[in-house]
Amino acid sequence: MVDTRPFLPVSSSDGSNPSEPLANRCKTMKVLLSIFFGLLVVGLFAALLASNVTENGHGSLASSTTAKPEPLRRVSRGPAAGVSEKSNWLFGKDDENGVAFPWNNSMLSWQRTAFHFQPERNWMNDPNGPLFYKGWYHFFYQYNPHAPVWGDIVWGHAVSKDLIHWLHLPLAMVADKTYDKSGVWTGSATFLPDGKIVMLYTGSDAEAVQVQNLAYPADHSDPLLINWVKFTGNPVLVPPPGILSKDFRDPTTAWLTSEGKWRFAIGSKINKTGIALVYDTKDFITYEKLDGLLRAVDGTGMWECVDFFPVSKTEENGLDTSVNGPDVKHVMKVSLDDDKNDYYAIGTYHEKNATFIPDDPTIDVGIGLRYDYGVYYAAKTFYDQNKNRRVLWGWIKESDSEAADVKKGWASVQSIPRTILLDQKTGTHLLQWPVEEIDSLRLNSYEFNQVKVQAGSVVPLEVGPATQLDILAEFEIDKEALEKATGSNVTFSCSSSGGTVERGALGPFGLLVLADDSLSEQTPVYFYIAKGSDGNLKTFFCNDQSRSSEASDVNKQIYGSMVPVLEGENLSLRVLVDHSIIESFAQGGRTVITSRAYPTKAIYGAAKLFLFNNATEAGVSASLRIWQMNSAFIRPFPNLDNKSQ
C-alpha cells in the first residue's frame, strides 16, 4: 500500500492518542511513573558500573554512554611520506572548530560489517597481491597493526576457500629492512611457469625513497603461504633519472611477452602528467627500463596502483594477464592521487613498442570512466585460474571523522570481490558484479511483483531489519509519461543536482535504504531520467548521502554518473547493504557506486527499506527479490599447527 507521508518529513507523530478515555490515560500514567522510577534506580546502578568500564579488546567502547562532543582537528596522513592523503577531512581550512558527533557504543558497534572483509582491529587500505594457490584464495592488504589511522604500514594476510569466509593469518611482511623501513607498500603477485610465486612491492626506505623490492614464499609447499622471504639483493629498482624519489610506486602483475620476457608497469608522474613506466625482466632480479611509456595523460597527476589486464571481446570468461590477440581488448586502470578515484580505459595494447592506446581518447585513463563513482580506491584485479575469471578488489575507506574511527578502533573495509568483464553490448564499459559465492549468504527471501509507485509517493517494503540485505530490482517507467515529458537543455548531474529533493518529470525513483520509519535518516539509491530538448533520454544512477545520518561529522556527498540503457532493457539494479556499506550496481554493473552511511537512528531493527518515486509526472512499477544476508564469520585461522588439512 502506498505511504502517503511527505517524501521528506520534518517530524513524526508523538505517539499520543487523543481519543483514549481520560480514566484509562490516568491509570496508564501511574503505571508508567512506576516503571520510570524503577528504571531510574536500575539506570543509576548501571551508570556506576559503566564508570569503571574500559575499552574492550577490539578497540570499541565498552560503554554505550554518549561521549561529550570533541573538537575535530585536521591531521594529514600520507602525503609527507609520499603517498596519497589517507585522512578524511570533513571541514574546510577556514573551519577549524568542527565538533565530533557524540557517538555511543551501540551506534559504533552497528557500523562494523558482517560479510565484507576487514581485520579484527586498526587501519587497512590497499588490496595487495591477491591470488589463488593450492585450494586457497589469498588476500594481502596494507595494514597498521598499531592504530586505526594510516601509518606503520605492513602486509596483513588472510585466506578463504570461497572469497567470502575469511580466516586471518599472521602478518606476511613487516617493515624490518632498510629498503622498506618506512613502509611495506603496495605490490602485485606473478605466477611463474613452474607455478611458483614472486611478489614485487614498493618499499619506502629509511630516507623515504620509493624503491621496488622482490619477495617470495619461504615454502611453496605450504598452501597458506605463511612465511615470506625478502630477496637479499633488494631493492631491485630505484627511481630512474627524471623521476622524483616519492613518485615511483605500485608495480603491476607482470605479463609474458612473445620474446619470453616478463613485463610490468609502475605508476609515476612528470610535473602534472600521469605516466606508467615499463620494465622488462627475465628473472625478476635484473631489469631493463623501456624507453617509452605504457601511457601518459596530461593533467592527471600522480598515478598510483596501476593495473593492466586483458578482457575478451567474445567470451564471458576472464583471461590470464599474459593473453593477447585479435579477440582481446586491454584495460588500463589508474588510481589518481589528486582526486582519490579509480579510472579506467579500454583499448589496444601494442607489444612491440609497449604502449596502450585507448579506443576513445576523450575517455582516456584518468579523464573518463571510473570503476566506481563512490568511496572506492586502489583497486586491484587478479586472474582466478580456479574459476577462469578475473576478480576485482577495492578499498572502501571511511567517510566519518578520524575521531570516530579512533573510538570504534578500526577503519576501512574491502569491497565484496567482483568479477570484471568487457560489456560486449556497449563495447565502451566494463561490467562489475559481486562474485557468485556471495549468494551462499542468502537467508530468507521476499518477492514483490509489479509494485506501483505513483509520482511523489513512498512505499514501505516489509522485509524485517534492513541492515544486511541483497536486493535485486527492476523498474518500468510509465511509457505515456515518458513520451509526454517536455525536453530540456539543462544538463543534469548527480553530484550537483541537490539529490532526491530535486524533482523532474521522470525522476528520481528507486530505493531508500537504511531509512528509519520517519525517513529522517535515509540513503536513496536511484535512477533519474533526463530528457533533452532533442527528445533523447539520458539515464543517471545516483546515491544521495545528504540525509544518511543526523551526525555532523560524516561525509554526505551525492554520488553517481550516467549509465547506458540500451533499447529493450528495463532499468535494473542490485544493492548489497552491509551495515555502514552500500554497494550498488546498475544495468548489470555498467555503473557502480559504493558509499558509507553512518545513521544514528536507522540501525539494528529500526533500519527499514522503502521504494520511492519523487518524479513530478511519471509513475513507475517495481519488481524486487530481497534476501536477508548471513554473516561471513570472518575470524582468525584456527589451529595453525594443522594448517595443511
Q: Are strands 571-578 and 468-477 parallel, antiparallel or unpaired?
A: antiparallel
Q: Look at residue 141 and give its three-state secondary structure.
A: strand
- What confidence tier does 69 reach under pLDDT thresholds 50, 70, 90? low
- Rounded-to-integer distance, Cα 489 and Cα 506, Å: 15
Question: Which cell goes with 322?
Answer: 599474459
The pLDDT value given to residue 247: 97
Instruction: Output helix, strand, coil percentages for the chain, rounded to the nearest 5.
Output: 10, 40, 45
Which amino acid makes up residue 219? Answer: D
pLDDT digit string, tens, across residues 74-89: 677 777 777 766 666 5
- Rounded-to-integer distance, Cα 498 and Cα 80, Å: 35
pLDDT digit string, tens, across residues 190-204: 999 999 999 999 999
Residue in the block written with cell 502506498: 2
- Rounded-to-integer distance, Cα 348 and Cα 371, Å: 19
**Residues 218-241, mean pLDDT to the nearest whole number:** 98
The pLDDT value given to residue 277: 98
Longest dimension (CA), the chain: 94
What are the angstrom distances between the C-alpha of 45 and each of 39, 63, 104, 116, 557?
A: 10, 14, 19, 38, 42
Q: Look at residue 501 and give its three-state secondary structure.
A: helix
Residues 6+ apart with CB under 8 A from 34: none
Q: What is the DSSP letter of 643?
A: T
CB of 95 within 8 A of CB of 588? no
Residue in the block written with cell 511523489: 456
pLDDT digit string, tens, across residues 289-345: 999 999 999 999 999 999 999 999 999 999 999 999 999 999 999 999 999 999 999
Residues 6+ apart with CB under 8 A from 36: none
The pLDDT value given to residue 2: 41
Q: Is the pLDDT of residue 551 over 60?
A: yes
The pLDDT value given to residue 189: 98
Question: Which cell goes with 327?
Answer: 579477440
The pLDDT value given to residue 78: 75
CB of 343 within 8 A of CB of 368? yes
Cis (ω within 30 of 0) for the bond into 358?
no
- What confidence tier does 1 reach under pLDDT thresholds 50, 70, 90? very low
Question: Which cell goes with 476?
Answer: 518500468
**Partner residues linked to 134 by β-bridges:** none
**Residues 23-40, mean pLDDT to the nearest whole number:** 43
- Rounded-to-integer distance, Cα 337 and Cα 248, Å: 12
Q: Look at residue 204 and give its three-state secondary structure.
A: strand
Please name the helix (run of DSSP H) or strand (run of DSSP E) that holds residue 336, with its range, or none.
strand 328-336
Average the pLDDT over each of 40-44, 354-358, 498-502 and give the range with the smallest value. Answer: 40-44
- Rounded-to-integer distance, Cα 310 and Cα 422, Å: 9
- Strands across the sheet containing 442-453: 442-453, 620-629, 468-477, 571-578, 581-586, 591-596
> In this structure, how many other beta carbons lie within 10 angstroms of the beta carbon of residue 630?
14
- What confidence tier does 633 reach under pLDDT thresholds 50, 70, 90? very high
pLDDT digit string, tens, across residues 438-477: 999 999 999 999 999 999 999 999 999 999 999 999 999 9
pTM: 0.87
CB of 558 within 8 A of CB of 108? no
Q: Is the dihedral of CA 12, 18, 24, 26 positive or negative?
A: positive
Residue in the block written with cell 499520543: 16
The pLDDT value given to residue 640: 84
**Residues 338-355, mean pLDDT to the nearest whole number:** 97
Q: Is the pLDDT of residue 567 over 80?
A: yes
What are the angstrom distances between the C-alpha of 613 and each of 469, 490, 516, 519?
A: 21, 21, 17, 14
Catalytic annotation, residues: 126
**Residues 341-359, mean pLDDT to the nearest whole number:** 98
CB of 50 within 8 A of CB of 65? yes
Nearest to residue 264, comparing CAs of 282, 238, 247?
A: 282
Question: Which cell goes with 28?
Answer: 496508564
The pLDDT value given to residue 487: 82
Nearest to residue 512, comparing CAs of 597, 628, 416?
A: 597
Q: Is the pLDDT of residue 644 over 70?
A: no
Q: Rounded to an integer, what is the distance from CA 465 to the centroid of its chain?
A: 23
The pLDDT value given to residue 221: 97
Residue in the block written with cell 533526463: 530
Q: Is the pLDDT of residue 7 over 90?
A: no
- What is the share, in percent, of the chain residues with pLDDT greater than 70? 85
Q: Are strands 273-281 and 262-270 parallel, antiparallel or unpaired?
A: antiparallel
The pLDDT value given to residue 411: 97
The pLDDT value given to residue 330: 98
pLDDT digit string, tens, across residues 100-140: 899 999 999 999 999 999 999 999 999 999 999 999 999 99
The pLDDT value given to residue 356: 98
pLDDT digit string, tens, across residues 386-419: 999 999 999 999 999 999 999 999 999 999 999 9
Question: Which cell goes with 615?
Answer: 518524479
Q: Is the pLDDT of residue 608 over 50?
A: yes
- Rounded-to-integer distance, Cα 183 and Cα 130, Å: 19
Q: Is the pLDDT of residue 45 over 50?
A: no
- What confidence tier does 50 reach under pLDDT thresholds 50, 70, 90? very low
Q: Look at residue 40 and give its three-state secondary structure.
A: helix
Q: Look at residue 363 and give its three-state secondary structure.
A: helix
What are the angstrom distances between the C-alpha of 390 and each of 173, 317, 330, 382?
A: 25, 8, 13, 6
Q: Is the pLDDT of residue 11 over 70?
A: no
- Rounded-to-integer distance, Cα 634 and Cα 159, Å: 10
- What confidence tier does 436 reach under pLDDT thresholds 50, 70, 90? very high
Give phi and psi for 43, each to the nearest 5: -65, -40
Q: Look at residue 605 and give its three-state secondary structure.
A: helix
Q: Is the pLDDT of residue 524 over 50?
A: yes
CB of 329 within 8 A of CB of 319? no
Q: Is the pLDDT of residue 54 over 70?
A: no
Q: Which position has the higher pLDDT, 425 or 79?
A: 425
CB of 450 within 8 A of CB of 339? no
Q: Look at residue 610 and give its three-state secondary structure.
A: strand
**Residues 142-153, mean pLDDT to the nearest whole number:** 96
What are the angstrom distances between the C-alpha of 47 and each of 38, 60, 70, 106?
A: 14, 18, 21, 15
What is the residue-averaged pLDDT of the chain? 89
**Residues 410-432, mean pLDDT to the nearest whole number:** 98
Half-sphere exposure of 255 (CA within 13 A, CB side): 21
Average the pLDDT over each of 295-304, 523-532, 635-644 and give the range with the smallest value. Answer: 635-644
- What is the share, in percent, of the chain residues with pLDDT greater than 90? 80
Give the angle subtended at the CA of 588 by the CAs of 463 and 328, to the nearest 5°: 155
Nearest to residue 460, comparing CAs of 521, 523, 541, 516?
A: 516
Which amino acid makes up residue 151? Answer: G
- What confidence tier does 144 reach under pLDDT thresholds 50, 70, 90? very high
Residue in the block written with cell 625478476: 284
The pLDDT value given to residue 486: 86
Which amino acid makes up residue 241? Answer: P
Q: Is the pLDDT of residue 12 over 80?
A: no
> In this structure, how many other beta carbons lie within 10 angstroms of the beta carbon of residue 426?
14
